[in-house]
Structure 1
């Protein structure tokens, strides 16, 4: 017992030290990401304003009537001389340069084959478009990205493009000035998966599409977040922090290698662990048999407790634990006078699905649906459970009716988007009907009435066509 206590205290302290190193690194990565994101957003905002100013200037006859030098100064002001800007150009509908920020006499060039030109030409609502990296034809192959806006004739037809080129050297210098450790990395990636910049810098990586990489799947799964993964580019395992830009199709990723930020922890662990091993080995030898038996019993009890509260097929709470949680949340809502919402979810025509595809396929479909449900409730207080058969229940404490409807719609859409084939459904795939009820419990309210109301809302969703969300009148 003495050995176990001493080793446990030592292990707990070392584990906490490891978690502290991990949390500190995550906080540092978040701060670095925020610094870089704000710098990029601030500059892109200025670039966007410069482009808009050119678009508006081109629409003013007085400006277009000026001599070339004055017109260039009015249209481009001082934006064209900003650091890291390559060129600001006005292209006509054929892709030819008609106004050049660098010269009164426009340089010769046609860019009708560039993707940014094609996007603006074919999409009147493209707005501010940020291109993938490309090699500049006017600046000796300098790697750049383009920010563009569409020009339109009075009748709305395509009149050309205003282009602002940004040297990738801007991102390279910004990233290289941020310390990420010997094996750290930092990347700016388009939401289409194209690598815009990466530190450490390798020109062969710029422009590569990493859409198929497992790390990229994390980047597009949420607005921001953190995870650990092994990079497909260099095989180094890192802790990642990523942030999707709110107003641009870009993702900023900052990562620190585990071998770097755990290095000091590993040295401390080896020293302390070795000492504790020598000191505790005498006690461990005597108590080994007792320890083995104790661990077996604790493991069995833990597994039994988990089995008693969890549905084995879906991994969600089972009906027994649902009743306990529901009663607890209802009493708390009464006490705090807060609104509680319930979602009743039922898969449409699921008996026909089992009859057609078999019960094993039915079990696989239920597991997939459970993942959809669990993936769309994010608060720790929200609870999902399997009510029975193909029915599920979601408890949403402190959630108004509008929030419950939004979550229900997300779950319904996620299940539909799974695309599980269902020939017996009018939608051709597995879908779900959802009934919602939201209620601030009153003193004389009965929980069974709320459950019945949610069930009636589910019935209404079924009766009105399935694959939809219906709200209870009790809300």
Structure 2
């Protein structure tokens, strides 16, 4: 490459004014950069302070709502357990009513707690010993449990009661659970309602400032509560088609913040949102941007009049810095990926396996969901390696890793090389039957592979499976030991088979 050459600006005639202009420009640019940086930092500090304040408010609401929902869930579980006791069928209505609803919460905003049969008819009512006849087969909570046997606790859409009473116009939501026989047959629904005045009372003690709002929506974007109400009839309406709500509901993390314009009153606000545990409820704290950035704007307007001409310089420098940071992050991600990957097979290595297994173990402890571990070992691999050479052996391990990965499809599961010709698979939220089905698919797929041209026999795998459930008392080390023991039994039993630890 030939470099372009330019004549010097300071020739024999001399241009000292150019040097003065250049020095002045450099000085102004330096001042602009400093001032703009300070303004940006102050704005970020104002936003961070507002976000922390909003997050604290959201966490207070989350904690109270979670505690309330847990009380309702315990009430429903107690009601279902009592309803399935055979000895209650022959006692007096008063004793039966007391046994059914002895765990009922005494919360001030508690609505009716009902026990419905499989046709939606009321067979028990917390408010009266002799239940008032009624049918709720058309309610969303009844239909959800009637047609979905795996439904856990269901939170309904807001509704108004059907009674001719003072509370007829009050909005409520219900919490419900399915009642099933030992064979899984649908027997009915236990349901407890909560008056939405609960949220209004909860919001009263929270100060959010002027022109700001507190909102609670469900997973469909239906508004359950708001402070203050921007529209008198907004409760119970779906806002799932509004851009801000769509952005919040589509966030997989369930929490975050952003600044946007409200579609209800066209006010600019800083939205901070948080999903309430594992519930289909989201708390939104929308702070007025005018209040959040008011002081900063007055300062920025005063200073930007003298420095606004050179703002593009700072933007360019910021862009360069951001580009370098992106490059660095990309390089760090690549290094982290290399550090977690087995060089030969391309699957996770032992270090990644240990980290993921410990993470999934603690997650299973919290959720109570089963956790299965699969140990896979190539049968007669040493003989295969000696017969066909190390290069063929390495290729066999690569093929084996690929086949295992093709049969373990969920993103949350992990395939890792445990060591040598042994692989391990972590199956989160998978019971022993599901793990055995996947293991059989892997075993058959490996058995059917044409490993080496002219080979006397195909390579096979032996697989051992161990599963932790909430009913077991094994530790993480015992889980691995049990899976390894099952693998040993598979090899002792003739290889090319799957053994599930019992």
TM-score w.r.t. length of structure 2 = 0.58
**Cα 1:144/1:464, change in 2 over 3 Å:** closer
8 A Cα contact 2:405 2:415, kept in partner: no
**Cα 1:464/1:71, change in 2 over 3 Å:** closer
Deviation at 1:270, TM superposition (A): 3.5
Deviation at 1:98, TM superposition (A): 1.7
1:253 paired residue number? 284
8 A Cα contact 2:404 2:415, kept in partner: no
2:237 paired residue number? 208
Deviation at 1:241, TM superposition (A): 1.8
2:352 paired residue number? 400
Distance, in Å, in 2 between the alignment partners of 1:237 and 1:101 is: 46
Deviation at 1:115, TM superposition (A): 0.8
Distance, in Å, in 2 between the alignment partners of 1:16 and 1:304 is: 16
2:265 paired residue number? 234
Deviation at 1:171, TM superposition (A): 1.1
8 A Cα contact 1:228 1:240, kept in partner: yes
Residue ranges of structure 2 left out of the alignment (5+ in a row): 1-23, 358-393, 424-502
**Cα 1:92/1:43, change in 2 over 3 Å:** same
8 A Cα contact 1:50 1:79, kept in partner: yes
8 A Cα contact 2:350 2:416, kept in partner: no
Distance, in Å, in 1 between the alignment partners of 2:97 and 2:318 is: 79
Q: 1:220 aligns with which of 242, 245, 250?
A: 250
Q: 1:32 aligns with which of 42, 57, 60?
A: 57
Aligned residue pairs total 348
CA distances 1:171-202 after superposition (whole Å, capped 9, x unpaired): 12212431222222222222233222222234
Distance, in Å, in 2 between the alignment partners of 1:126 and 1:12 is: 53
Structure index of larger Rg: 2
Q: 1:34-183 alignment to 2 at 5 Å?
A: 34-77=59-102, 79=104, 81-138=106-163, 139-183=167-211
CA distances 1:35-72 after superposition (whole Å, capped 9, x unpaired): 00000000110111011111111112333433223322
Distance, in Å, in 2 between the alignment partners of 1:467 and 1:78 is: 44
Q: Does 1:244 align with 2:275?
A: yes
Residue ranges of structure 1 left out of the alignment (5+ in a row): 311-315, 334-338, 345-392, 406-452
2:224 paired residue number? 196
Distance, in Å, in 2 between the alignment partners of 1:49 and 1:258 is: 41
SS at match of 2:190: strand
CA distances 1:366-396 after superposition (whole Å, capped 9, x unpaired): xxxxxxxxxxxxxxxxxxxxxxxxxxx9xx9
Q: 1:446-461 alignment to 2 at 5 Å?
A: 461=402
Distance, in Å, in 2 between the alignment partners of 1:398 and 1:8 is: 48
